[in-house]
């Protein structure tokens, strides 16, 4: 469960760094993201490849401060996490924690979408 807690902390860190109008340092969140990628790549589980690919996409959006891209990636990651958790039912509650995590990712995506709209250049 600590891995899931680490993921939750990373999501909060990424969101905090980017939701303040991109004035905060996103390094901590990027470090979390790199750690997730390293762990997930190390499993060599084919079912995790779409999540790894989307995390790589999120990393690219972070590097260029693309809020709209981050919003889409968070939403996609939430959907992929829910799908991955749909068949996990254990007494330890792993599947439940992953489903809760998917909701947090989707919520972060929706919140990030609002931030992206607020920071979008005005149309002429």
The model's pLDDT over 15-46, given as tens digits with 9 standing for 90+, comes to 666 665 555 566 766 777 888 888 888 887 78
- Write down the pLDDT at residue 41: 84
pLDDT of residue 21: 52
Residue 54's pLDDT band, with cuts at 50, 70 and 90, is very high
Give the CA distances from residue 81 to residues 16, 72, 84, 116, 120, in Å, rounded to whole numbers and listed in that order: 21, 14, 5, 23, 29
At residue 122 the predicted structure's pLDDT band, cuts being 50, 70 and 90, is low
Distance CA 24, CA 3 (A): 25
Q: Which two tokens stand for residue 80?
A: 């992929």
Global pTM reads 0.77
């Amino acid at each position: 469960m600590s891995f899931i807690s680490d993921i939750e902390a990373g999501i909060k860190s990424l969101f905090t760094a980017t939701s303040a109008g991109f004035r905060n340092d996103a390094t901590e969140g990027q470090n979390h993201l790199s750690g997730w990628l390293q762990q997930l790549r190390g499993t060599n589980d084919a079912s995790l490849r779409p999540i790894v690919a989307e995390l790589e996409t999120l990393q690219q959006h972070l590097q260029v401060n693309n809020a709209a891209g981050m919003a889409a990636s968070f939403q996609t990651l939430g959907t992929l996490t829910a799908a991955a958790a749909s068949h996990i039912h254990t007494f330890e509650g792993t599947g439940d924690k992953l489903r809760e995590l998917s909701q947090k990712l989707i919520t972060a995506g929706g919140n990030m979408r609002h931030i992206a709209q607020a920071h979008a250049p005005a149309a002429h």
